[in-house]
Amino acid sequence: MPFALSTLDIAVVAAAVVATLLIRKWTRPSYLKNLAGPPNESFATGHMLQIYDPHKFDFHEQLVEQYGGIVKVNGLFGAEHLYVSDPRALNHIVMNDGDIFDIRPQTIALNQMLFGKGLSAVTGSHHKKQRKALNPIFSPSYLAGLVPLFYDVGVELQDMFSSRIGESQSEVLDVLKLISSASLELIARGALGHSFGNLEADAPFRHAAKALMPTLSEVRVGLPLLPNLMKIGTPNFQRFLVDIFPSKPVQALKGLIDTIQNTADMMHGEHAKKLKNGSAADEKNMMSLLFEANSRASEKDRLSKEEVMGLMSLITFAGLDSTSGAITRILHNLTEKPAIQQRLRREIIDSGIGGTVPTSDELNSLPYLDAIIKETLRLFPPLITVDRVAIKDTHIPLLKPVRLNDGEVTNSIFIKKGTSLFIGIATANRSEDVWGPDAKEFKPERWLNSDTPVADKDARLPGVWSSVLTFLGGPRACIGYRFALLEIKVLLVRLIPNFVFESSKEKISWRLDAISSPHVDGDPNLSPRMPLKVSFVGNSTARSL
């Protein structure tokens, strides 16, 4: 008789996993009981529903305002976590003790399930090996050579805007949709050496890319159980469990993962073929260089096929919604501040940059554009928190002492191995201790006078870029931040001098999911959208700028 599991069997396994978790939590005394934090409202969900509530950034801000730069919050079934935004503590967690605070097993399991064995699903020496292999292809000099390729996509995007507006001179367009297709094509051509055709071509991978984040939002509640469930049986058995799991979003996710993995497999095949027939060296894209270097690497440094495929999928998805969301956020912000939009347009037009293929130095020579990007990404980081777990006991110092529940004031906290924490990227980026009393205001000018306009040098954040935490810092800093900045600049340099962006009648709210995305208020559809009124910059306007 073939082996088969009923829904009841699955429920029993899930209940056993939950019971094990509960017993572990109940029998372990809390060493954090003296640290202040909000009262626990639910034993089952702790503060997780508030922390992950995509509409409640207020909760994050209140944590910091009420309890300070390090706060105890509750996780599922009585678990305790820390929420950290104190700059000195963050320097330790992200930089000095960067190897002690790594990604949590849940997150690693999820990343591995989605993208395979790329950077964000590996730790320790595997992680170091992959970073070493990727550093050359994310270097400023290599990326500078990709600008013409980025520029071609920028021109295609501009054409797409123009054709949509057509004769009418102005039209409400879903700006996010257009920018996302440009972003995907830009990663495909620049990073993967592949093209999904013109920006509007229909491709299964395009659908998967668009659907992944909304589908993940639907299954998010079950994700903390993932690492335990992934320990059950062989990969084939786990696959079987997923196949029979009676849930529409889980089945949708399975289909998306298959598309992602099949596409990575297909691209791996294309590159391996080019390497074999000697044409890889003629290609100008990041993966060709990686394949070539990997073929020459010593056995100890060489990446396996599984790792390379994992990296291809990860790079595509890590760079997609984050960067297209960032560009869309910049445009949204500019609709609310027409004078700033006008001043930016004038800077780009007067510089003459963008009419022909710019160099990366030219793109970096526009101070107001730079300031707007920095200020938008500081105030609105696409990832508002990331999570970590301490893999050793350690102490972390604080810039601002906190008062413990017993009344004592302390300027350092002991952290025990196994403690999970949230790094408050957005709360640190908006901290008055770091940026001064106007920290929460949108003021691009603050960047015109200084590269690091912090109020207190000791309060500098450990960010890899401009002392903001948006791309994190330390061993797990975003490896693609220069790619993202170049992409943002190339696309804005094509769009801003040619189009005026204004609000449409629809009200937009940003959902703070794993990656923030814009949604139309009252829209029952979970898919993100950003309708904006877009008009041609008239000749008279251009002259008057």
Q: Which residues are annotated as a binding site?
A: 478
User: Under the criterion CB under 6 A, does residue 480 sit at the interface with ligand HEM?
Assistant: yes
Q: Determine if 319 is a binding residue for ligand HEM (CB under 6 A).
A: yes
User: Which 3-state string (H, E, C) describes 111-176?
Assistant: HHHHHCCCHHHCCHHHHHHHHHHHHHHHCHHHHHCCHHHHHHHHHHHHHHHHHHHHHHCEEEEEHH
Tokens of 152: 């071609």
Strands 70-74, 499-503: pairing kind: unpaired
Tell me the C-alpha distance between 265 and 310, whole Å: 10
Nearer to ligand HEM, 120 or 351 (CB): 120
Q: Is position 471 an interface residue for ligand HEM (rule: CB under 6 A)?
A: yes
Binding track, positions 254-293, relative to ligand HEM; x by CB under 6 A = ----------------------------------------
Cβ at position 544, least distance to ligand HEM in Å: 33
Give 402 or 425: the residue with its C-beta nearer to ligand HEM. Answer: 425
The span from the first CA to the last CA of the chain, in angstroms, equals 79
Q: Which residues contact 110 (CB under 8 A, 6 or more apart)?
A: 223, 226
- Is 175 one of the binding residues for ligand HEM (CB under 6 A)? no
Q: What distance in Å separates the CA atoms of residue 224 and residue 147, rounded to the nearest whole number? A: 40
Q: Which of residues 322-341 bind ligand HEM (CB under 6 A)?
A: 322-323, 326
The residue nearest ligand HEM at its CB is: 480
The tokens describing 418, both together, are 């196994």
SS (H, E, C) 267-292: HHHHHHHHHHCCCHHHCCCHHHHHHH
19-27, 314-322, 506-514, 531-539 -> range binding ligand HEM (CB under 6 A) = 314-322
Site for ligand HEM in 512-531 (CB under 6 A): none
Report helix, strand or coil for 466.
Answer: coil
Q: Which of 383, 454, 493, 532 binds ligand HEM (CB under 6 A)?
A: 383
3-state DSSP assignment of residue 503: strand
Letters for 35-74 (x = contact with ligand HEM by CB under 6 A, - = none) are: ----------------------------------------
The token pair that represents 42 in the structure block: 């639910």
Question: For residues 196 and 119, what is the distance between their CA atoms, to the nearest angstrom?
Answer: 25
Does position 228 bind ligand HEM by CB under 6 A?
A: no
* Minimum CB distance to ligand HEM, residue 259 (Å): 19
Q: Least distance in Å: CB of 316 to ligand HEM?
A: 8
315 forms part of the interface with ligand HEM (CB under 6 A) = yes
**Which of 205, 483, 499, 510: binder of ligand HEM (CB under 6 A)?**
483
What is the gyration radius of the CA atoms in the chain, in angstroms? 24
# chain residues binding ligand HEM, by CB under 6 A: 26
User: In the complex, which residues of this chain contact ligand HEM (CB under 6 A)?
Assistant: 103, 119-120, 131, 187, 191, 314-315, 318-319, 322-323, 326, 381-383, 386, 470-472, 476, 478-480, 483-484
